[in-house]
Amino acid sequence: MLTLQYIPYHDFASLSMEEKLGKIIRAVKDEKILLIEGRLNPMEESELIKRTMHAINKNFKGIEIASIDYEFKGDFLENMKRNVAHFLLRKRGGLTIVGPATVVKEIRKDPSKIELLTLDRKKKKR
């Protein structure tokens, strides 16, 4: 069974880096695909990759991760207001997807969308 877990921005933003990474790693080891509202900062993303590389073993094959920024449509003034509000609130607009490498085959990303391809778990390995 494929499990998607959505984490809203307000539930994730107030956590420390240790809490965020712990929550992500626990969920991915439980073979859940996380849809996180917002983006990890570069330090958090780097540390997540580093920690998962150290945790790789026979049962845990690592993670797949991708982020996409929301594209604001509208006039310049409206976009400026939104950008200032996000800066002041330290909100990083966008979406981050993190999943276990045993479930997620590939994440394709372009400026306006993300495609998540999963492995067919019914096929038997030879």
Q: Is the pTM of this model over 0.85?
A: no
Find the farthest-apart pair of alpha carbons in the chain and give their distance in angstroms, rounded: 58
pLDDT digits (tens, 9 = 90+) for 19-60: 999 999 999 999 999 999 888 888 999 999 999 999 999 988
Quote the radius of gyration of the chain (alpha carbons, Å): 16
pLDDT digits (tens, 9 = 90+) for 50-65: 999 999 999 889 998 9
Q: What is the three-class DSSP state of 22?
A: helix
Residue in the block written with tokens 């917002």: 38
Q: 45, 46, 54, 50: which is closest to 96 by C-alpha?
A: 45
CA 24/CA 36 separation, integer angstroms: 10
